[in-house]
Structure 1
Amino acid sequence: NSQIGLARAIVKDAKTRKILKGVQEDLFTLGGDLASELVSANVPRISKSHVDNLEKTIDSIHGGLKPLRRFILPTGGAAGAQLQVTRAVCRRAERRVAALAKIEAINPEAIPYVNRLSSLLFDLARLANQRDKVKEEEWTHE
Structure 2
Amino acid sequence: MGFRLSKIYTRTGDQGETGLGDGRRVPKDHPRIEAIGEVDTLNSHLGLLLAGLDGEGLTELIEVLAPCQHRLFDLGGELAMPTYQALDKIEIGRLEAAIDRWNEELGPLENFILPGGSALVAQAHVCRSLARSAERRCQQLNAVEPLAGVGLAYINRLSDLLFVAARLIARRQGIGEILWQAAAKP
TM-score by length of 2: 0.71
Counterpart for residue 73 of structure 2: 28
Of structures 1 and 2, the one with the larger relative CO (CA 8 A, separation 6+) is 1
8 Å contact kept, 1:129–1:136: yes
**1 or 2, which has the higher helix percentage?**
1
User: Larger Rg: 1 or 2?
Assistant: 2
Whether the 8 Å contact between 2:87 and 2:149 is mirrored in structure 1 is: no
Question: Would the aligned equivalents of 2:116 and 2:122 in 1 still touch at CA under 8 Å?
Answer: yes
1:110 CA drift (Å): 1.1
Q: Do the aligned residues in 2 keep the contact of 1:90 with 1:117 (CA within 8 Å)?
A: yes
Task: Give me the whole-angstrom Cα distance separating, in 2, the residues matched to 1:44 and 1:96.
Answer: 18
Asked whether the equivalents of residues 50 and 65 of structure 2 are also in contact (C-alpha less than 8 Å), the reply is yes
What's the TM-score once normalised by structure 1's chain length? 0.92
Q: Which residue of 1 aligns with 2:159?
A: 118
Distance 2:91 2:143 in 1: 23
Task: Give yes or no for contact 2:95–2:161 (8 Å, CA) kept in 1.
Answer: yes
Alignment of 1:73-92 (within 5 A): 73-92=114-133
Q: Is the 8 A contact 1:46 1:107 kept in 2?
A: no
8 Å contact kept, 2:74–2:87: yes
- The alignment partner of 1:63 has SS state of helix
Q: CA deviation at 1:45?
A: 1.8
Q: CA deviation at 1:90?
A: 0.8
User: Which of the numbers 109, 121, 126 marks the counterpart of 1:68?
Assistant: 109
Deviations 1:12-60 (A, max 9, x none): 22221121211001111111012112xx3xx342111111111111111
Matched, 1:19 2:64: yes
Stretches of structure 2 that go unaligned for 5 or more consecutive residues are 1-42
Q: Give the Cα separation in 2 of the matches to 1:26 and 1:49.
A: 11
Higher strand share: 2
TM-align CA RMSD: 1.2
Over the matched positions of the two proteins, sequence identity in percent amounts to 38
Whichever residue aligns with residue 127 of structure 1, its letter is: L
**Equivalence for 2:46:** 4
Where does 1:33-48 land on structure 2 (aligned, <5 Å)? Answer: 33-37=78-82, 40=83, 43-48=84-89
The total of aligned residue pairs comes to 138
Gaps of 5+ in 1: none
